[in-house]
Amino acid sequence: MNTKNNYWMSNSAASPMAASSSSTAAGRTSGKTTSFIPELQSMMFALGDARRPLHETAALVEDIVHTQLINLLHQAAEVALLRGARAISPEDIIFLMRKDKKKLRRLIRYMQFRDYKSRVLKTIEDEDVLDSEKYSSSSSSSSVNKRQRLLQDFMSSIDQTGEFLTLVEEEEVDEVKQERLERIEKMTRNMDSSQYSDFCESRQLSFSKKASKFREWLDCSSLDVKPNAMSMEILSYLAYETVAQVVDLALLVKQDMTPKTGDPFQHAISATFIQYCNSSAEAVSTKKETDSPENTPPSTPSGPLTGHQGKMHSMAQGNGGPNQDGSSKIKQRKRKKSAAACGAEAQSSAIQPAHIREAIRRYSHKIGPLSPFSVRNNRAVKELYL
């Protein structure tokens, strides 16, 4: 039994899901026809990346998330077959996550939120007012709180010390979620109304809103033991959380790779300030461009014009003076250069594929006096959620 995050990793040759010689490779090949790269770019922007994340970085993140979910599906199918079930249920996924209390608590809160959302939507559909009498009956409470009740029933069945039931009742602040919220708040300080509108649209994206595409991406039809609807809901949540975790780690790597001069303690700055500093620098550079003498209009004459001066002024404004075409071409060239410079600056502020690879390498590396003798130290990519 492993000790950190990868708790359930069995040999693929002994797997009951290994009908073919390469089930994971087949799943990844089938996912090539369906791509979440545009959605992932928007998600990465909402999680702290640049306004336009790189296509190569999003493709690498997609490959990582897809591999993680395929492995999770196969391991959950093994658990389902061990207990004699015909479908992957939420209990199988929760069993695989049972050792990581923080991530399990985060999943429980998500399921509670989904129950609350279902209750609100049910109230809107029925056009009734929420009252205590309506939700005091056992039938209504079981229908609207089915996720939370399922979690409690299963965790109480495997709980020997009471530690799992306390996860449901605890209201401890999630430090990871709090740090992400602080990063988002700093990102939005320098946004105008249109930028903030785009940011809000990116924040609303999720895998659960495209359930059919998500199921096709995972190639669930080829599985012998298929996940049910609630399991797909959990998988979509874990997929988004995996993207968020990869972005968190990549921002830390990006901070470490940034050349530092002067302050020897600059490496201790939290990663929440990375995107805020980048956005502040972009806002200052944009303001300097708008305040430059090139972009300010020429001053109009305040006094009355003489006859000859009026003719020359009308010729310059109406038919174009001899120097107007040349100056306009120069301005257009300068604008193109500034636009290219802004594009290069935006690409440099975005998360690079090298940041993702280094983040995965650091996450996979086990630190300790016995790490050279550990078998898990030779694994290329460790499970992010198992």
**238 assigned to some structural domain:** yes
* pLDDT given for residue 383 in this prediction: 56
Mean predicted confidence (pLDDT) in 119-142: 59
Q: How far apart are CA 87 and CA 192, in angstroms?
A: 48
What is the reported pTM? Answer: 0.66
| 241: in domain | yes
Mean pLDDT (whole number) for 195-212: 92
188-202, 334-348, 370-384: range with highest mean pLDDT: 188-202
For range 82-110, the mean pLDDT: 88
**Structural domain harbouring 356:** 12-260+343-378
CB contact set of 87 (below 8 Å; sequence gap of 6+): 80, 225, 226, 227, 228, 231
Higher-confidence residue of 282 and 330: namely: 330
Q: Which of 33-42, 110-119, 145-154, 250-259 has the highest mean pLDDT?
A: 33-42
Read off the pLDDT of each residue in 205-233 and give the average, rounded to a whole number: 91
For residue range 77-86, what is the model confidence (pLDDT) as tens digits?
999 999 898 9
Q: What local confidence, expressed as pLDDT, does residue 27 receive?
A: 44
Above 90 in pLDDT, residue 369?
no
Three-state SS letters, the chain: CCCCCCCCCCCHHHCCCCCCCCHHHHHHHHCCCCCCHHHHHHHHHHHCCCCCCCHHHHHHHHHHHHHHHHHHHHHHHHHHHHCCCCEECHHHHHHHCCCCHHHHHHHHHHHHHHHHHHHHHHHHHHCCCCCCCCCCCHHHHHHHCHHHHHHHHHHHHHCCCCHHHHHHHCCCCCHHHHHHHHHHHHHHHHCCHHHHHHHHHHHCCCCHHHHHHHHHHHCHHHCCCEECHHHHHHHHHHHHHHHHHHHHHHHHHHHHHCCCCCCCCHHHCCCCHHHHHHHHHHHHHHHHHHCCCCCCCCCCCCCCCCHHHHHHHHHHHHHHCCCHHHHHHHHHHHHHHHHHHHHHHHHHHCCCHHHHHHHHHHHHCCCCCCHHHCCHHHCCCCCCCC
Residue 87 is predicted with a pLDDT of: 92
In a domain, 123, yes or no: yes
Lowest mean pLDDT, pick from 11-25, 64-78, 112-126, 358-372 = 11-25
pLDDT over 70 percentage in the chain = 56
Mean pLDDT of 114-133: 69
Averaged pLDDT for residues 296-322: 49
Note whether residue 187 is domain-resident: yes
| CA nearest to 348, candidates 284, 274, 291 | 274
So what's the pLDDT on residue 268? 54
Number of domains forming the structure of the chain: 1
Q: Are 53 and 44 in contact, with CB atoms under 8 Å apart?
A: yes
pLDDT, residue 8, reads 36
Would 270 be classed as within a structural domain?
no
| Cβ-contact 385, 5 below 8 angstroms | yes
pLDDT at residue 45, rounded to an integer: 95
pLDDT > 80? residue 206: yes
The neighbouring-strand residues paired with 375 are none
Kindly indicate the confidence band of residue 332, based on its pLDDT and cuts at 50, 70 and 90: low
More confident residue, 235 or 125: 235
The pLDDT score that the predictor gives to residue 281 is 55
Within a domain: 153: yes
Phi, psi of 54 (to 5 degrees): -70, 145
Q: Which of residues 69 and 368 earns the better pLDDT score?
A: 69
Mean pLDDT computed over 73-78? 93
Is 294's pLDDT higher than 60? Answer: no
Confidence of residue 122 (pLDDT cuts 50, 70, 90): confident
pLDDT of 146 reads 78
- C-alpha 126/C-alpha 2 separation (Å) is 49
Query: Residue 15 has which token pair?
Result: 């797997």
**Buried b / exposed e along 121-138 (16+ C-beta atoms within 10 A):** eeeeeeeeeeeeeeeeee
Mean pLDDT of 174-189: 91
**Is 306 among the domain residues?**
no
